[in-house]
Amino acid sequence: MKVYLETSSLVKLYRSEEESDDVIKLIESFLEGRIELCTSAISRLELVRGLTKGGLDKVTISRMDADLQLYAARGLKVLPVSESILECAISYIKINHLGAIDALHLASALMFADVLITNDDHLLKSSLKKDIKQSLRIIKPSQVNF
């Protein structure tokens, strides 16, 4: 199964929050080879911003960078923001009134994954749209059952 991990869930690896344990289990499933995992190249930028804004220190941010490199070496697909992803994202901004970053995550997930894991309310609401629901499951980390 191909799983897209969006930044609002990925950040839970570095901040102890509700569903942090669920994200850790998801990473363990990936490291054990039970799922394929991908995220967007913009996730790193969002993570650094989120961790800095949250007051986490440079050591934690360095650990995040090292973890992403390790995960990439183990098969994490870091998806570039291609022209086709941009075009798809623009259509979701127009149709579903998503913000730019949410639209980029959604477009990336739609092109490469079966499931999008997120804690973002706008993306979770998108899962109710018929055109999206038919192509992609959008769930919170606590709803993972694979």
Q: State the total domains in the chain.
A: 1
Q: What pLDDT sits at residue 1?
A: 94
On the CB side of 140, how many CA atoms lie within 13 Å of its CA?
A: 12
On the question of pLDDT at 146 being above 80, the answer is no
The SS3 assignment for 80 reads coil
Q: What pLDDT sits at residue 53?
A: 82
Q: What pLDDT sits at residue 129?
A: 76
Q: What is the CATH number of the domain that holds 87?
A: 3.40.50.1010
Rounded CA-CA distance 20/14 in Å is: 8
Instruction: Give mean pLDDT, residues 29-55.
Output: 91
Pure H helices in the chain:
7-10, 20-31, 42-53, 58-73, 83-96, 100-112, 121-126, 130-133
Q: What is the pTM of this model?
A: 0.91
Residues 146, 32: contact at Cβ < 8 Å?
A: no
10: domain range?
Answer: 2-143
Report the share of the chain in percent with pLDDT over 90: 71
Look at the chain and count its residues: 146
